[in-house]
Amino acid sequence: MSRTSVFTTHRRTVLRTAGAVVGGTSVLSSSTVAEAGESASTATIHRSKTRSLGNGDLSSFVTTTADGKPTSVGVHLSAGALEGLPTADDVAANDRSVDHQGLWSLPFRLPLPEAAPPPFDHVGFGWNPEGHPPRGVWNVPHFDFHFHFESPDTVSTIDKGVIDELPDRIVPEGYMLAEDGAVIPKMGAHLAPAETPEFNDGEFSNTLIWGAADVDDSAGPELHFVEPMVTVEHLRGLSAVDRRPVAQPDRYPTAGWYPTAYAVGALDSGGHVVVLAAFEERT
């Protein structure tokens, strides 16, 4: 059986609120899934298998138009997923966990449905009960949603290192290398908005990261993931959809479909979605 499946009516109902994500584009609903100007009956929702999280579960999903054009790529956290989360001690004791300078992260690898547009390959999800470095910036309980362009095998070859500088053409507008360009093993370096509140005496709640690494050890660093980072507190406090633009680079690593917006939505069911949306084709 294919890992891709069409959402049941129940799932469509659970994800009803995500219809506001794109802003004028209905992403998911109980009876309509439509891109602006397209008949709802011609759109399709696909989802991955679920993984347990807290007292609920999480899964990835993709929505497409009748001719296969992407309208959203996202992660669904069901009702209960934010409750009963593993504690810092639980995560530290888990063999799968990763130590980030004394702050532990529990990673999950979520396959994307086969309908996912290129360059998207899979989601690297992380639960960080005490956050992660840099301390004083991102060390609060939050989730990482890495939407990777490369395969898990390729991502796993990324070694620790430092990126001193990136060509301006691949740096999204308004972004800078975070953590002094540190390359996190099996992940990459992080680029963050220079004006994000947590870098300017504010508090971290919801930040869109781009990731870079030299994934083939020859061509130099390229962008290879998009990552919403969202705190548990922000998710629990949502009463509507928090939709924001995705800053774009001048040059993309490969031809494909790239999001120009992302959103975090609270659902009537008690669950949440984190969605990349408003895709545009780049060549």
Domain residue limits, the chain: 5-282
Two structure tokens written together for 184:
């996190």
Its pTM surpasses 0.85:
yes
Rounded to whole angstroms, how far apart are CA atoms 51 and 58?
Answer: 5
List C-alpha distances in Å: 275 to 141, 158, 283.
20, 26, 23
Cβ neighbours, 10 Å, residue 154? 15
Of 84, 17, 109, 11, nearest in space to 232 by CA: 84
Averaged pLDDT in 10-residue chunks for the chain of 283 residues: 36 43 39 32 80 96 92 96 92 80 83 97 94 82 97 94 95 95 93 95 95 84 97 92 96 97 90 96 93
CA–CA gap between residue 167 and residue 164 (Å, rounded) = 10
Best CA proximity match to 206, nearest among 120, 278, 138, 272: 138
pLDDT of residue 30: 33
Query: 162 and 183 in contact (C-beta within 8 Å)?
Result: yes
Spatial contact of 258 and 1, defined as CB atoms under 8 Å apart:
no
Tell me, what's the pLDDT at 218? 66
Question: Which two tokens mark 132?
Answer: 């992660």
* Residue 14 host element (H or E): helix 9-14
Give kind and range of the element (H or E) at residue 154: helix 152-155
SS3 at position 1: coil
